[in-house]
Structure 1
C-alpha cells in the first residue's frame, strides 16, 4: 500500500496533505509517524528518503503536513498559503497528530501495530506532547525543542507584537516574510498546561529516544539533554551533524546524507528493541 498526497482533516477543520506507505513484501508490526518542524513540510529535504529507508526495513511510514503549515491540498511545497501559516498555533499541531492517527486507523488496524512518533525540531516537542495517546508505543525526537515559552519574543518586542497583531520572520531560502499572528501567543497562554513539554516528558509512559547533532546551530543540544533527563530516555549525539542532519531543500541526491542515515539507523534499532521487549 502506498498513498501519496492524500488528505486528512486537521485542526479547525482544515485539510492537509498526508502520505502512508506500508511494506509490500512481508507482514509488518511497526509504523513510524513522522512530524515535521517549524517552516517544514512532509516533502522537505530528504524526508522522502527517510520514508524509503524505513519501508525498505519493514516498517510502515506516515508523514504529513501540519494543517496550518502554509501548504494547501493542491500544493504542499514552500508555503503557498501564508494566511493559514499566520493562524497556526501549537495546540493545532498537537490536535493534528491526533487527527493523523485517526486517519491512519481508517487505513490500518492500529490495534495490531506499534506506532512510533518521530518528531524533528519543533515536531519533537509536539511528539512529546502527543505521547499520552494510547495508540502511541514510543517517541523518538530528532534535534528537538524542549520548551515552547522560550521561543516567544520578550519585553518590548512582545508588546509590539500584541499591539500590531502580527510579526514576520524572513525565510532565507524562499525569501518569504512568514507572518505570525498574536493568536499564536494567546493560544499558548490559554493552553499552557497542555503545552508544557517538561511536564509531559517527566510523565511519559512510553519509551523515548533523543538524537541531536553536535553542530546544530538552530536548537541547542542542551534541549535534547533536558529531554533525556526528563523522559529517562537515551540521548545519542551525532558528531558533525547540523540541525537537519545535513539534509537541505531542495535535496536532489539519490542517497540521504550520512548523518541523516545515522539518525535513521539509530531510530530503527530503537524500534527493533521495543519489539524485542514486547
Structure 2
C-alpha cells in the first residue's frame, strides 16, 4: 500500500489543510473516498487510519484531512494546541475546506501523476458533525456520486435550537466553552459560529439539503450512541429523498474505537461499519469494488 501523509493544502482562511492519501497501485482507475472528521476530531484520531487501510484493501483510494480550524496544527496533529483557531471555526469554513480538498483531487496534476484514481467516482464519508458537512458538499458538487454518514448529526444548530437564553448569554459574552472529555480542555466557541449559521441558515439546513439530494445516501448509526442519539438517524432518513438506514446494534458514537488505538484488530462494530459501507458502495454500481 502506498500513502502520502500530511500533504498541506493552502486553506482559504490562512491556515493549512493537512491531507492523507492511501492507495494501492492499480491498472483500473480507483474510486475515491473522502473522509471528513467531526467536532473535536482530527484525521489521525484513533482507528481512522486502520479503517482507511481496510477501504484501500477493498479497492479504493482513501483521503482524510483536517479541517483548517479544528484546533490542531501541522506540527502538532494529535493535540489541540490552537484553541483560538478552534474558537474561530464555523460551518462555512469547513465547507470551504472540504471544497478545497475536492478541487485538489479533481484538478491536481501532482496527484494524478502518482495515483490512477477515478475523479468521476468520488464518494464522501462524514463522521458526527462531519456528516452534515459531507451532505451539503455532496449536494453542491456534481462529481460527488454518493455519501455516507457515520453517527451523523441531523442539524448543525441542534445544540441551541431551543436555547434562547443561552444564545443571549453567548452573544453578551462573545464566547462559551465546551469541555473535551478526553483532554479535559475547555475549548472556546466564539459567537461568530452562531452568526455564521444565521447568515447561511438556508444553505446549512440539513432538512433542505436532504430534500434536494438526489444521490445515493447511506446512514450508519449505532443503537447505543450516547453523543448523537438514534433519533438523529431517523430524522435524516425521514427527510432524505434517496437514503437507506443501517443501525448497528450496540455500537457507540465511534463504533468501538478509542484514542489512541493500539489494538491488532478492529472492533466488531467497526468491522460491521466497514462491511455495510462497502456493501452500499458496491450495490450502487462501483465496478472496481473487491470482495471485503
Same fold by TM-score greater than 0.5: yes
The CA distance in 1 between the partners of 2:129 and 2:3, in whole Å, is: 27
Kindly indicate whether residue 260 of structure 2 is the aligned counterpart of residue 253 of structure 1. no
Asked whether the 8 Å contact 1:28–1:58 carries over to 2, the reply is: no
Q: What's the offset of the Cα at 1:276?
A: 5.1
Q: Which of the numbers 116, 119, 123 marks the counterpart of 1:116?
A: 123
Kindly indicate whether residue 134 of structure 2 is the aligned counterpart of residue 127 of structure 1. yes
TM alignment of 1:43-122, pairs within 5 A? 43-105=44-106, 106=108, 107-108=111-112, 112-122=119-129
The CA distance in 2 between the partners of 1:142 and 1:176, in whole Å, is: 25
Deviations 1:102-126 (A, max 9, x none): 1222123766541110101101111
Kindly indicate whether residue 188 of structure 2 is the aligned counterpart of residue 187 of structure 1. no
The CA distance in 2 between the partners of 1:18 and 1:112, in whole Å, is: 17
Kindly indicate whether residue 237 of structure 2 is the aligned counterpart of residue 228 of structure 1. yes
Asked whether the 8 Å contact 1:140–1:208 carries over to 2, the reply is: yes
Kindly indicate whether residue 277 of structure 2 is the aligned counterpart of residue 267 of structure 1. yes
Q: Which of the numbers 140, 149, 153 marks the counterpart of 1:145?
A: 153
Q: What's the offset of the Cα at 1:254?
A: 2.0
Asked whether the 8 Å contact 2:17–2:97 carries over to 1, the reply is: no
TM-score (norm 1): 0.95
Q: What's the offset of the Cα at 1:275?
A: 2.3
Asked whether the 8 Å contact 1:28–1:59 carries over to 2, the reply is: no
Aligned partner of 1:243 in structure 2 is: 253
For structure 2, which runs of at least 5 residues remain unmatched after alignment?
Answer: none
TM alignment of 1:16-31, pairs within 5 A? 16-31=17-32
3-state SS of paired residue (1:235) = strand
Aligned residue pairs total 278
TM-score (norm 2): 0.91
The CA distance in 1 between the partners of 2:92 and 2:119, in whole Å, is: 29
- Aligned CA-pair RMSD: 1.7
**Which one is further off, 92-101 or 154-163?**
154-163
Deviations 1:138-178 (A, max 9, x none): 00011111111222371222111111110111111111111
Asked whether the 8 Å contact 1:228–1:235 carries over to 2, the reply is: yes
Asked whether the 8 Å contact 2:61–2:117 carries over to 1, the reply is: no
Asked whether the 8 Å contact 2:125–2:134 carries over to 1, the reply is: yes
For structure 1, which runs of at least 5 residues remain unmatched after alignment?
Answer: none
